[in-house]
Amino acid sequence: MSITNEQMIQMFTTMNKIRQFETRVQEFFADGRIPGFVHLYIGEEAIATGACATLRKEDCITSTHRGHGHLIAKGGDLKLMMAEIFGKKTGYCKGKGGSMHIAAVELGILGANGIVGGGGPIANGAALAFQYRGQDNVAVCFFGDGAANQGTTQEAMNLASAWSLPVVFVNENNGYGISCPTSKSMAITDIADRAAAYDMPGVVVDGNDVLAVYEAVSEAVRRAREGEGPSLIECKTYRWRGHFEGDACVYRDENEVQSWVERDPIRKLEEKLQEQGILSPEKSREIRDALAKELEAAVAFAEESPLPSVDELEEDVYA
Amino acid sequence: MATKTYLQALNEAMRQEMERDPEVFILGEDVGQFGGCFGVTQGLFETFGEARVKDTPITESAIVGAATGAAAMGMRPVCEIMFVDFIGVALDQLYNQAAKMRFMFGGKAKIPMVLRAPQGAGIGAAAQHSQSLEAWFAHVPGLKVVMPSTPYDAKGLLIAAIRDDNPVVFLEHKILYGIEGEVPDEPYTIELGKAKVQREGNDVTIVATAAMVHTALEAAEQLAADGIDAEVIDPRSLTPLDIDTIIDSVKKTHGLLIVHEAVRKGGVGGEIAAQVAEQAFDFLDAPIMRIGAPFTPVPFSPPLEKAFIPDAGAVVGAVKQMRG
Ligand SMILES: Cc1ncc(C[n+]2csc(CCOP(=O)(O)OP(=O)(O)O)c2C)c(N)n1
Ligand SMILES: [Mg+2]
């Protein structure tokens, strides 16, 4: 598999963009400036980044409650995202969706989802439309280890396989569904084993290695585009933050968290690129500084934007 | 114009829409060669092939989700849930996903799908195959809810539902599949949200849905023999609900009875009653009455099932009671 230096630098940039965005959201939440729930993607950036780097604009994704990373990786605009998370009228969903429902259908983002396991059946539907129309686009369904145990996920994998739909099921196994470890939620160690039940390839990758994710998803996307049907890619990872902001994390041990922080997916790529002479420390700093500027502009946009008018409440219920 | 059954009218609606628009397709359990559990999709597989008449596994969540996702991409799926009672296992995809996407996404998505399902008692199918669940769907913003009572309405409403840009829950009463009526051969639509006055009258307004429209009409004939001239209105869709036609009628008749087969408690009759009470209380000469099934699951044994389903006698009795 060939991957250019430029692509790798792009992935480095995207991962940093997600990290900076999430860190900022974390601060805002702590300051009480964001209503509702936020579920941060810090530590898992390699998955969305590697997977979406294989996609075209016309390809679709379904995302989850932990969706900011997927949106950014699929081309989401930080301004519109931050405004949405603030509940502003200028946000992606006019403030009607919030963190758990950000969508950008024009970018193929069929929504974050507040329902665990909600995305699989919908990804199939998008894939069915591609298949029916003879388009070689694909749909990627991101889902967690918790979502892996939902009936909808099994139904979706079965139907995708029975109909050879161009879907890639990207499992983000971060070891927990809220407080429940996978050791208690399932009898198997590798969710990818379930692919065998649906006669699709099941691959386990290091979810903190963006290049490994890219490689595995590329092959799955190639198969899907060529009409060979769905695949299941399980990406082993960890969430650094609590399940949602405010989670005291009583169910896990600080050493465990630290051991994963040491496997930081961003640092891992950065070191690799530096060793190979692809990315200098200066260039790396430049990238981060440029991202910080973009983020500040997004923050300013969100802060300055108006809240929706209550007159808009009853709009957009029906087409 | 030709005489057709309710079932043929529905079938013709799908056939003509599929001929008109290649983005219309059907999916569901046994809808292909088998023609659907009640035969509503008969012959469509032969004409349009398996790419457009798709047999699914027994997987209601995946059916509704596939329809939702395809609709989000601009297609016009018509999915069949074999019995409305099975919607429970797929409800999330309908009421949290399809129904809410447009709103949650700030108006940026359209979900032009139809979910067809037979409902209702009367064939001895018992508690898990006989319910009338329209009130559930009518309680969810983002869904439209349609309930045809005649072959003519069945065709026009289904074509309108397929062309509608919203998720439409289209509830067919299984006892009506065989009834006949005049149905034009050419495609036509009936606007969703327009009630139909099935019988004009001056003395009392009876609002009835689905099979109960026929029960109400039968009761109206019996009442006429006693000199009571009942007006029978079929709302045809519950969302949108044409409350104006009902209120205009109540202003004329000064009495309102609502009849549905769904259990009375929590049924749409309560909603209609409340809206009329709010908007036309001063025109009422007597308290509004509601008839619905008792608060039990649908029973199996024939005498019990018969007792469960409201009949014309109950309608006549209620009207006479209302008129003192
Ligand atoms: C149907 C449903 N059940 C429960 C929840 C509450 N909930 C939200 S996130 C979550 C955990 C999901 O775990 P996983 O799929 O592993 O995703 P992660 O949070 O680890 O990214 C739960 C139980 C929900 N939102 N939806
Ligand atoms: Mg998890």
| Same-domain check for residues B171 and B25 | yes
Q: How high is the pLDDT of residue B258?
A: 98
Mean pLDDT of A292-301: 98
The DSSP code sequence of B142-184 is T-EEE---SHHHHHHHHHHHHHSSS-EEEEEEGGGTT-EEEE-
In this structure, what CATH number is given to the domain that contains residue B65?
Answer: 3.40.50.970
Q: Are B207 and B259 in contact (CB under 8 A)?
A: yes
Domain end (from B183, B211, B228): B183
Q: Are residues B158 and B292 in the same domain?
A: no
* Chain B residues with CB-CB distance to A58 below 8 A: none
| Structural domains counted in chain A | 1
Among all chains, which residue has been given the structure tokens 């300055």?
A304
Is B93 close to A101, i.e. CB distance below 8 A? no
Give me Rg for the CA atoms of chain A: 19
Residue B278: give its domain's CATH number: 3.40.50.920
Angle at alpha carbon of residue A135, lines to A133 and A136, rounded to 5°: 150
Residue A180 parent element (H or E): strand A180-181
Asked if B73's CB is within 8 angstroms of A316's CB, the reply is no
Query: What is the reported pLDDT for B324?
Result: 85
CB neighbour class for A185 (10 Å; exposed up to 12, middle 13-18, buried from 19): middle
Q: Is residue B247 assigned to a domain? A: yes
Nearest to A121 among B62, B141, B142 (CB): B62
Same structural domain, B205 and B293: yes
Chain centre distance of CA B91: 18
Q: In this prediction, does ipTM exceed 0.85?
A: yes
- Residue A10 CA to ligand 1 center (angstroms) comes to 30
B301 and B164 assigned to the same domain: no
Q: What is the rounded distance in angstroms from the CA atom of residue B68 to the CA atom of residue B54?
A: 15
Secondary-structure breakdown of chain A: helix, strand, coil percentages, each rounded to the nearest 5: 50, 10, 40
Q: How far is the CA of A125 from the centre of ligand 2 (A)?
A: 24
Q: Provide the domain limits for residue A66.
A: 5-301
pTM (2 d.p.): 0.95
Contact A115/B at CB under 8 A: yes
Question: For A255-280, what is each residue's pLDDT tens digit?
Answer: 999 999 999 999 999 999 999 999 99
> Which residue from B73, B93, B109 is facing A121, i.e. has the nearest CB?
B93
Assess whether pLDDT exceeds 70 at residue A318. yes
State the pLDDT at residue A169: 98
Together in a domain, B30 and B143? yes
Distance of CA B308 to the CA centre of its chain: 19
Q: Is A100 in the pocket of ligand 1 (CB under 6 A)?
A: no
Sheet holding B230-234, edge to edge: B196-199, B230-234, B204-208, B256-263, B289-293
Task: Answer yes or no: do B69 and B99 share one domain.
Answer: yes
Alpha-carbon distance of A235 to A307, in angstroms, equals 38
Gyration radius of chain B's alpha carbons: 19
- Taking a contact as any Cβ pair under 8 Å apart, which residues of chain A between 50 and 79 contact chain B? 60, 62
Helices (H) and strands (E) in chain B, counts: 12, 14
**In angstroms, what separates the C-alpha of A103 from chain B's closest C-alpha?**
6
- SS3 state of residue A286: helix
| pLDDT one-digit tens code per residue, A80-108 | 999 999 999 999 999 999 999 999 999 99
Residues 214-243, chain A, touching B (beta carbon < 8 A): none
Instruction: Quote the ligand 1 centre to B88 CA distance (angstroms).
Output: 20
Backbone angles phi, psi at B263, to 5 degrees: -55, 140
The answer to the question of residue A306 being in a domain is no
Cis check for the bond before B310: say yes or no (omega within 30 of 0).
no
In a domain, A313, yes or no: no
Task: State yes or no: is B254 an active-site residue.
Answer: no
pLDDT of residue A1: 59
Quote the mean pLDDT of chain A. Answer: 97
Q: Are A79 and A305 in contact (CB under 8 A)?
A: no
Whether A124 sits inside 8 A of B69 (CB atoms) is: yes
A2: pLDDT strictly greater than 90: no
Q: Are residues B158 and B260 in the same domain?
A: no
Asked if residue A316 is part of any domain, the answer here is no
Q: Which atom of ligand 1 is nearest to the CA of A178?
A: 11
Cβ(B219)–Cβ(B206) below 8 Å: yes
With respect to residue A38, please indicate whether it lies within any of the assigned structural domains: yes
The domain boundary, picked from B157, B183, B209, lies at: B183
**What single string gives the DSSP state of each residue in A100-142?**
GG--BGGGTB----SSTT-HHHHHHHHHHHHHHHT----EEEE
Q: Are B157 and B126 in contact (CB under 8 A)?
A: no
The total of structural domains in chain B comes to 2
Q: Provide the 10 A C-beta neighbour count for residue A57.
A: 10
Instruction: Please tell me whether residues B15 and B82 are part of one structural domain.
Output: yes
Q: Which of B131, B157, B183 is the last residue of a domain?
A: B183
Q: Are residues B220 and B112 in the same domain?
A: no
The whole domain housing B258 covers: 196-322
At B260 the pLDDT is 98
Does a structural domain hold residue A314? no
The reply to whether B48 falls in a domain is: yes
Residue A308 lies in a domain: no
* A169 CA to centre of ligand 2 in angstroms: 15
User: Could you report the per-residue pLDDT of A132-152, keeping only the tens digit for each?
Assistant: 999 999 999 999 999 999 999
Query: Two tokens at A5?
Result: 């230096």
Q: Is residue A317 part of a domain?
A: no
State whether B61 and A151 contact (CB < 8 Å).
Answer: yes
State the closest ligand 1 atom to the C-alpha of A143, by its place in the atom list counted from 1: 15
Would you state the torsion angle of the CA atoms of residues B267, B269, B275, B281, taken in this order, to the nearest 10 degrees?
Answer: -140
Residues B90, B152 within the same domain:
yes
Q: Count the neighbouring beta carbons within 10 Å of the beta carbon of residue B298.
A: 24
Q: Is residue B47 part of a domain?
A: yes
B178 and B311 together in one domain: no
CA B107/CA A67 separation, integer angstroms = 20
Residues of chain B with pLDDT under 50: none
Q: How far apart are CA B276 and CA B290, in angstroms?
A: 13
- Based on the fold, state whether residues B143 and B285 are members of the same structural domain: no
Q: How confident is the model at residue A291 (pLDDT cuts 50, 70, 90)?
A: very high
- Count how many Cα atoms sit within 13 Å of the Cα of residue B107 in the half-sphere of its side chain: 11
> Can you tell me which atom of ligand 1 is nearest the CA of A173?
16
pLDDT digits (tens, 9 = 90+) for A207-223: 999 999 999 999 999 99
Q: Chain A interface, mutation test: which of B25, B26, B60, B61, most A Cβ atoms within 10 Å? A: B61
CB contact under 8 A, A93 and B105: yes
- A112 located within any domain: yes
Task: Please indicate if any CB of chain B lies within 8 Å of the CB of A132.
Answer: yes
For residue B218, being part of any structural domain is answered with yes
- Indicate which ligand has the atom closest to the C-alpha of A39: 1
Please indicate, yes or no, if residue B62 is contained in any of the structural domains.
Answer: yes
Dist. CA B167–CA B96, nearest whole Å: 12
Task: Give the CATH number for residue A290.
Answer: 3.40.50.970
- Is the residue at B191 inside a domain? no
